Structures are given as structure tokens and as C-alpha cells.
């Protein structure tokens, strides 16, 4: 619990931590039977170090589960029907369409698929507003929908309710036998309810190219493991570790796809591939800087993971045996070699495995393409029919949406100050948007990036974007708290008036567009500023609703 508190996890301690400690690396699990603060295996030791600071890289938590193109390639190879994926995608699209119009559907959607930084803001706003009546709320939900549609189109990233993405760990009680796993999952990200999964589950770890990477195991209820949740517990017993069967995993913090949706359980499985790594080169002397430079250059020049993965997608789409075809099995072996290349030798791709044309869903506009007849092609062409619709904050919208419920007595006293803070906030947020070439305020605030500058990538720069937005929000909150104290602390009426002024100078039509004069004329009017103190505005809204009900009575 001490480590959890250090990580600012107040509700409950996670079951599993991915750590680095004094040259050791790997995963440690909560064990209520142990009297030791920390127990480490010899296999976790990678080098000698006197640094005994405990670094926590990740921890087990609720994470929603998504299919991707690699899994959708392997599962039909093992007998799962195309209609299963089509029906799941249809359900996701239906849910996304409902969430922009129905409060309860929106709350349910973000409980299952959290919107990261703005999850709580959106949930609070949904308690006071219809999704389509508040422009800031509408923009966030519409951008979230657009980002999920984009993921469906480019990655076939289909949400699976009966599944989770979980960190793996070992059964320290030695209760589980080969072929069994223990899974206890949280119901949603913000609900404390948990349930134990029993029965057949399908399990895999990305990247997965070989049909044998997909395992079907039996989830069982083990009372001595009830303290473990939001993780998958593997047995110590058996001829081969189950994690190693899944793409050669080693329980070093890997995240596994696990689903108990019976429609996704393959009707057959194949033996897992041999992931024994090739022998590594050893030196009989200390490494020299020129050797490091040569190694790094070779790694950059010979890296072929992307080429192999793309070729696998093409052959699996065209071949009758799909991922079980000879070219795909050979590419799966080459991919394993390429993954280990930093430690061994580069993978050599034979000429016959080079690709000449690509399926339409890969969107290779500069290459020869064909219309895919496989399931991914069907999913791609179906999702293209659903266009994202994001309504922006125009002057007409400002006239229609200005909420007089959020205007309280005394707000005029803070108008001048609010204008200054709004200008400062917009300038900083606008600079962040320009830096990352993000066009929409809602994309920047929510982290649901649709498009950004080529020099940045969502996977690598998402954290820095979130940190920048979080920092700006904290700064705005510090401006808000800069008020005189009375004998009883900060007056609630003064706080309400200040929040009201922030809302007024953002939403009132007479202020629409006036903040662009100082820097960029063509930038849209930004409206996230007052919602940095969303809890205060929601309180004002709820008090207004309560007064109306009292009058009606």
C-alpha cells in the first residue's frame, strides 16, 4: 500500500507492479502471505547496480480490451467466423452514435472506454447537460467518436466488452495447473465492483503473427488468489510457460489480450511457435564507443519489423489458408528473428516474400492496390460509410448555447481579470496546438488526436501532450485560487462569481472571436478555459436546477 500511495493511488493497491530496482527488472505481485517488503528472483537480475531506488514503470489496472488487425487475422485462421467481427464493429458504431445524443449512453461508453484526462469532466457535465446542448461537452464527445471511428478504419480496433487488456504475473501459490489461469476483473474504470472469470478464455499478446500465438485456456476460481485483480495469473507448472507460448513473452510487464466472449473462442488451436532466441554475440573486451556506433547504425539500417509485419498482413489477406499459409508462417519466424535483432543478427527477407500489391484497407496510395475480400477489407469498407461529425463553436452556437444559469450575482467584478486570464490561457493553448499541428481544441484537451505534424507520433508523443495540457490546467486553477481570504476562508459566493465571469467572457456572443486579435486571426474561438474549474460551474448549475425545482413546488 505504501508504494500505491507514492504512486498517488488512493483507492486500493494494484496487484502487480512492473519495476526496476538495483539492476533488477520485471514484475512483482502482491503476496499477503509474505513478510518481506520485496522479493526478487535471480532471473530478474540484468546488471549490477548500487541504485536501490524502486522505480515503478507500470501497474495493473482496469484497461479496456480491443481487437486489432493482427488478432483479426489470426482468429479467422483458427475458425472464428467473419460475422463475429462485423457484428462487434456494428455494435461499437451504434454505441458511438448514441453517445453524442444520449447522456446515459455517453456515461456508459466513457466508463468502459475512459477519455483519460477529461473523463471526470465529461461525466460531471453529463449530469447537468444534454450531450448536444453544451458546446464543450458536444465537441469532446464528437471528437472521441471521431477518434474511435478513425481507429476502426485504420487499425480495426474493435472494443470487446467481455475482455480486458491485463498485465501478466506468476502464481506464487503454485495452485494453478498447466492450461489454467486466474482472472478477476474490475467492472469498469471507476466502479469498485469486481468479478471472477470462469470458463474458456482466448489469450494473446501483441505483436502476434503466428496462429499458435493465440491460446485457449481455462479460467478457474482459486480462493487463495482472490487478492489478485486486473491481471492474468499464469501457472508455474507445465512443459512450457504459457506466456512464452504467446509470442515469446517473458512476464516482464507484458500486456495480454484476454476475452471470455465465447464467440471469439477459436474452434481449434495450433502448437505455439518455438521462440528460443538465437545465440548472442559476446565480446572478450570492454565495449568501445566505435562498436556502439556501428551497432546502432546496423540497427537503424537493418530494422525490418515494419516490412515483415506489412508483408504478413498482405499474404494473410490473399492466401486461402490465411495466417496458416506457408508465406505467413515463414514471415512469423522472420518477425521473431527481427524482434531479437538488437541482440543477435538481422532478419533476411527472401525475394518471394516481398510484396507487389497491397489490399485497399492498408491505404497505400503510392502503391498498386486491390479490393480485399477478407474480413479486414469488409470491416474497412463498412466503416468508411460512417463519417465523423464535429460541430465547432460559431457565433450562432454562442447565441444559442449561452447558459444564464451559470451567471451569478457579482460576476461583473471579475470580468477584467477573467479577460486577462482567458487571453493568457488561449495564447498558451494555441501555442501548444501550433507546436503539434493539432487543429482542434477538443483533440488537444481530450488527447483524442485525429491528425498531427509528421515529426510527431501519437504513440510516442501522447504522454507529453497530456502533460502539457495538465500543466496548463493546473496553472489556470492556480489563477482561480488567487483570491483574498476572509475570516472563514475563501468566500463561496466570490468563487462562484469568479467562475461565472470566466464562463461569461468565454461563451457570451459579444466576446466571440475577440481573443484572436493578438496572435492568430484564423484560429477558432477556444472554449475550454472556464472548464478548468468545471466542479465550480457544475455546482452553480446544480444549485440553479435545485432553485427551479423549489419554485415549481
Q: Which strand (E) or helix (H) includes residue 57? A: strand 55-59
* 226, 345: one domain: no
Specify if 107 maps to a domain: yes
pLDDT of res. 517: 55
pLDDT of res. 193: 87
* 36, 84: one domain: no
Q: Which domain holds residue 53?
A: 1-59
Q: Span 217-228, mean pLDDT? A: 97
Specify if 53 maps to a domain: yes
- Domain end among 35, 59, 83: 59
- Candidate from 325-329, 388-392, 423-427, 539-543 with smallest mean pLDDT: 388-392
pLDDT beyond 70 at 66? yes
pLDDT of res. 520: 57
Confidence of residue 487 (pLDDT cuts 50, 70, 90): very low
* 87, 130: one domain: yes
Helix axes 82-99, 375-383, angle to 10 degrees: 20
* 223, 299: one domain: no
pLDDT of res. 132: 83
* 112, 255: one domain: yes
Q: Span 242-261, mean pLDDT? A: 94
Q: What pLDDT digit, counting tens, does each position of 128-169 carry?
A: 888 888 999 999 999 999 999 999 999 999 999 999 999 999
CA separation, residue 539 to residues 290, 346, 492 (Å): 63, 60, 11
CA distance 402 to 505: 11
Specify if 395 maps to a domain: no
* 436, 340: one domain: no
Distance from the Cα of residue 472 to its chain's centroid: 22
Confidence of residue 488 (pLDDT cuts 50, 70, 90): low
Q: What pLDDT digit, counting tens, does each position of 460-471 carry?
A: 788 888 899 999
Q: How many separate domains does the chain show?
A: 4
CATH number, residue 153: 2.40.40.20
* 201, 146: one domain: yes
Average pLDDT score, the chain: 88
Q: What pLDDT digit, counting tens, does each position of 333-376 carry?
A: 999 888 776 555 567 889 899 999 999 999 999 999 999 999 99
Specify if 276 maps to a domain: no
Specify if 270 maps to a domain: no
The secondary structure of 389-451, three-state, reads CCCCCCHHHHHHHCCHHHCCCCHHHHHHHHHHHHHHHHHHHHHHHHHHCCCCHHHHHHCCCCC
Specify if 382 maps to a domain: no
* 122, 192: one domain: yes
pLDDT beyond 80 at 508? yes
pLDDT beyond 70 at 489? no
Percentage of the chain modeled with pLDDT above 70: 91
* 224, 253: one domain: yes
Other beta carbons less than 10 A from residue 525's beta carbon: 21
- Domain end among 59, 85, 109: 59
CA distance 425 to 210: 50
* 85, 44: one domain: no
- Domain end among 33, 59, 85: 59
How many residues does this entry show for the chain?
A: 553
Closest alpha carbon to 466 in 116, 7, 113: 116
* 350, 475: one domain: no
* 499, 515: one domain: yes
Specify if 132 maps to a domain: yes
Residues 6+ apart with CB under 8 A from 235: 171, 174, 176, 177, 178, 179, 180, 181, 242
Closest alpha carbon to 472 in 392, 526, 515, 524: 526
Amino acid at each position: 500500500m505504501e508504494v500505491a500511495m507514492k504512486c498517488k493511488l488512493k483507492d486500493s493497491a494494484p496487484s502487480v507492479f512492473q519495476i526496476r530496482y538495483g539492476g533488477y527488472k520485471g514484475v512483482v505481485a502482491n503476496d499477503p502471505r509474505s513478510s518481506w517488503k520485496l522479493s526478487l528472483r535471480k532471473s530478474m537480475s540484468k546488471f549490477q547496480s548500487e541504485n536501490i531506488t524502486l522505480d515503478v514503470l507500470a501497474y495493473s489496472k482496469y484497461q479496456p480490451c480491443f481487437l486489432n488487425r493482427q488478432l483479426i487475422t489470426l482468429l479467422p485462421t483458427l475458425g472464428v467466423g467473419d460475422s463475429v467481427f462485423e457484428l462487434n464493429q456494428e455494435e461499437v458504431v451504434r454505441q458511438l452514435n448514441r453517445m453524442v445524443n444520449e447522456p446515459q449512453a455517453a456515461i456508459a461508453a466513457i466508463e468502459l472506454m475512459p477519455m483519460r484526462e477529461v473523463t471526470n469532466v465529461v461525466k460531471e457535465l453529463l449530469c447537468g447537460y444534454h450531450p448536444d446542448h453544451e458546446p464543450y461537452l458536444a465537441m469532446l464527445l464528437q471528437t472521441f467518436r471521431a477518434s474511435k471511428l478513425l481507429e476502426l478504419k485504420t487499425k480495426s480496433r474493435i472494443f470487446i466488452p467481455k475482455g480486458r487488456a491485463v498485465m501478466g504475473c506468476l502464481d506464487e501459490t503454485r495452485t494453478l495447473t498447466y492450461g489454467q489461469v486466474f482472472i478477476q476483473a474490475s467492472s469498469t474504470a471507476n466502479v469498485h465492483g469486481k468479478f471472477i472469470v470462469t470458463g474458456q478464455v482466448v489469450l494473446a499478446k501483441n505483436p502476434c503473427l503466428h496462429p499458435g500465438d493465440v491460446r485457449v485456456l481455462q479460467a478457474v476460481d482459486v480462493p487463495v488468489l482472490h487478492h489478485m485483480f486486473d491481471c492474468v495469473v499464469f501457472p508455474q507448472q507445465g512443459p512450457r510457460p504459457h506466456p512464452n507460448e504467446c509470442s515469446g513473452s517473458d512476464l516482464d510487464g507484458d500486456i495480454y489480450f484476454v476475452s471470455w466472449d465465447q464467440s471469439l473462442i477459436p474452434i481449434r488451436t495450433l502448437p505455439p511457435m518455438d521462440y528460443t532466441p538465437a545465440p548472442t554475440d559476446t565480446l572478450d573486451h570492454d565495449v568501445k564507443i566505435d562498436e556502439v556506433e556501428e551497432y546502432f547504425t546496423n540497427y537503424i539500417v537493418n530494422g525490418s519489423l515494419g516490412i515483415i509485419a506489412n508483408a504478413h498482413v498482405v499474404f494473410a489477406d490473399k492466401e486461402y489458408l490465411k495466417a496458416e499459409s506457408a508465406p505467413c508462417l515463414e514471415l512469423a519466424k522472420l518477425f521473431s528473428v527481427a524482434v531479437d535483432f538488437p541482440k543477435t543478427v538481422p532478419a533476411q527477407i527472401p525475394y518471394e516474400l516481398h510484396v507487389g500489391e497491397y489490399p485497399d484497407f492498408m491505404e497505400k496510395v503510392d502503391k498498386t492496390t486491390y479490393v480485399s475480400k477478407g474480413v479486414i477489407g469488409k470491416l474497412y469498407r463498412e466503416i468508411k460509410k460512417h463519417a465523423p461529425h464535429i460541430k465547432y463553436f460559431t457565433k450562432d452556437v454562442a447565441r444559442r448555447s449561452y447558459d444564464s444559469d451559470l451567471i451569478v450575482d457579482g460576476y461583473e467584478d471579475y470580468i477584467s481579470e477573467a479577460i486577462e486570464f482567458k487571453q493568457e490561457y488561449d495564447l498558451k493553448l494555441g501555442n501548444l496546438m501550433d507546436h503539434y499541428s493539432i487543429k482542434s481544441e477538443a483533440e488537444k484537451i481530450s488527447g483524442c488526436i485525429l491528425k498531427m505534424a509528421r515529426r510527431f507520433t501519437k504513440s510516442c508523443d501522447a504522454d507529453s501532450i497530456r502533460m502539457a495540457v495538465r500543466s496548463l490546467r493546473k496553472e489556470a486553477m492556480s489563477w482561480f485560487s488567487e483570491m483574498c481570504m476572509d475570516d472563514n476562508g475563501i468566500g463561496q459566493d466570490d468563487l462562484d462569481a469568479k467562475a461565472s465571469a470566466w464562463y461569461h467572457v468565454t461563451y457570451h456572443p459579444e466576446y466571440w472571436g475577440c481573443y484572436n486579435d493578438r496572435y492568430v486571426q484564423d484560429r477558432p474561438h477556444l472554449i475550454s478555459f472556464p472548464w478548468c474549474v468545471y466542479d465550480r460551474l457544475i455546482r452553480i448549475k446544480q444549485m440553479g436546477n435545485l432553485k427551479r425545482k423549489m419554485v415549481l413546488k
